[in-house]
């Protein structure tokens, strides 16, 4: 399988479709491997004439794992809340954006339409801020700006999430994932489909420490609101009205910060992309990227 290298990080990725076609880079969210962009979702984009690239973020799936002890999350949280100097963390969202550019390099792609989901939206936004010439257009899905108090979980969800730390078996890991998704996935959540996905993802080198490393990177990230105002690449923002993990004000704030962006809210969508909405979501993505190519 193809790999990209960024410093000491080796990034696993795959591609679908004709590489001569325009490319769409898919960036998955917090703790999820690239396979959470399921094959059927990717195929809808391929069938529309696109070259699709997806990859495992750091500490997920077949991408290399961070060595050494995980960061002290409580120290990071305290520093963020009090405005103190952040403790050293292994990597940042900017580093993860650099990983995504390394994947484009390895795939021989100079620029791509960037689709980021949840934390992947943070990464996509950072790519558009730091290196817009490589971003043909951006689609930020169920993400937020990094502004304090915006796009955060409801108190009920925040208090009820389970950590996979200490879990040892596939069955326990799958049940933990099901528990969390029941809290925030919304009314269209397909438990059986997610159970199968979570089991498959576990078998792709499951790493519970990813929860600590990636959360530290997100917590240490800046408020991007001002920088988002500099984005000129065509931007689509998608969010679910029923999202209780990254509430819909996160999507609204993202769209408000990026001039000429378009906001699409799906009334029955929570914090996942259910199969029943794949055609609707990919239609919005395809309409957006095709309009950007005509501009």
Asked whether residue 169 is assigned to any structural domain, the reply reads: no
CATH number for 85: 3.40.50.1820
Question: Would 203 be classed as within a structural domain?
Answer: no
At residue 152, does pLDDT exceed 80? yes
Q: Above 90 in pLDDT, residue 250?
A: yes
Which has more pLDDT, 35 or 80? 35
Q: Is residue 41 part of a domain?
A: yes
Choose among 13, 19, 291: nearest CA to 139.
291
**Is the per-residue pLDDT at 142 higher than 80?**
yes
Kind of pairing between the strands at 9-16 and 51-55: antiparallel
Q: Is residue 92 part of a domain?
A: yes
Domain that holds residue 258: 3-154+208-294
Q: pLDDT digit string (tens) for 162-175? A: 999 999 899 999 99
Residue 140 inside a domain? The answer is yes
Task: Tokens 């200490």: give the residue.
Answer: 166
Q: What pLDDT shows up at residue 77?
A: 84
User: What mean pLDDT, rounded, does the chain reach?
Assistant: 96
Q: Round to whole Å and give the CA distance between 145 and 250.
A: 7
183 pLDDT tier (thresholds 50, 70, 90): very high
Q: Residue 232 half-sphere exposure, CB side, CA atoms within 13 Å?
A: 5
pLDDT confidence of residue 80: 82
The pLDDT value recorded for residue 168 is 87
Residue 168 within a domain: no
**Cα–Cα distance list, 185 to 79, 140, 248 (Å):** 30, 17, 13
Is 186 within the bounds of a domain?
no
Would you state the pLDDT for residue 161?
96
Stretch 137-165: mean pLDDT: 96
Q: What is the count of structural domains for the chain?
A: 1
Kindly state whether residue 182 falls inside one of the protein's structural domains: no
**Which pLDDT score, from 0 to 100, does residue 181 have?**
98
Please compute the mean of the pLDDT values over residues 227-254 and round it to a whole number.
98
């Amino acid at each position: 399988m193809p790999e990209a290298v960024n410093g000491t990080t080796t990034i696993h990725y795959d591609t679908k479709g004709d590489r001569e076609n325009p490319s769409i880079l898919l960036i998955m969210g917090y703790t999820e491997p690239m396979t959470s962009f399921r094959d059927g979702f990717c195929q809808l984009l391929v069938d529309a004439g696109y070259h699709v690239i997806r990859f495992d973020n750091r500490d997920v799936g077949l991408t290399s794992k961070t060595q050494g002890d995980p960061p002290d999350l409580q120290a990071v949280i305290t520093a963020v809340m009090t405005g103190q100097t952040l403790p050293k963390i292994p990597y940042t969202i900017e580093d993860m954006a650099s990983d995504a550019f390394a994947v484009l390099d390895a795939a021989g792609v100079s620029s791509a339409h960037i689709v980021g989901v949840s934390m992947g939206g943070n990464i996509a936004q950072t790519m558009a801020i730091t290196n817009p010439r490589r971003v043909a257009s951006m689609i930020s899905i169920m993400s937020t700006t990094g502004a304090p108090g915006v796009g955060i979980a409801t108190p009920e969800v925040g208090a009820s999430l389970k950590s996979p730390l200490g879990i040892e078996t596939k069955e326990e890991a799958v049940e933990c994932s099901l528990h969390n998704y029941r809290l925030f996935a919304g009314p269209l959540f397909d438990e059986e489909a997610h159970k199968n996905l979570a089991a498959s993802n576990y078998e792709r080198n499951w790493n519970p420490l990813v929860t600590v490393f990636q959360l530290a990177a997100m917590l240490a990230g800046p408020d991007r609101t001002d920088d988002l105002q500099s984005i000129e690449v065509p931007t689509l923002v998608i969010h679910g009205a029923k999202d209780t993990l990254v509430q819909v004000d996160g999507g609204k704030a993202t769209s408000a910060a990026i001039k000429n962006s378009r906001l699409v809210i799906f009334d029955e969508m929570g914090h996942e992309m259910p199969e029943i909405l794949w055609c609707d979501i990919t239609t919005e993505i395809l309409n957006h990227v095709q309009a950007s190519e005509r501009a």
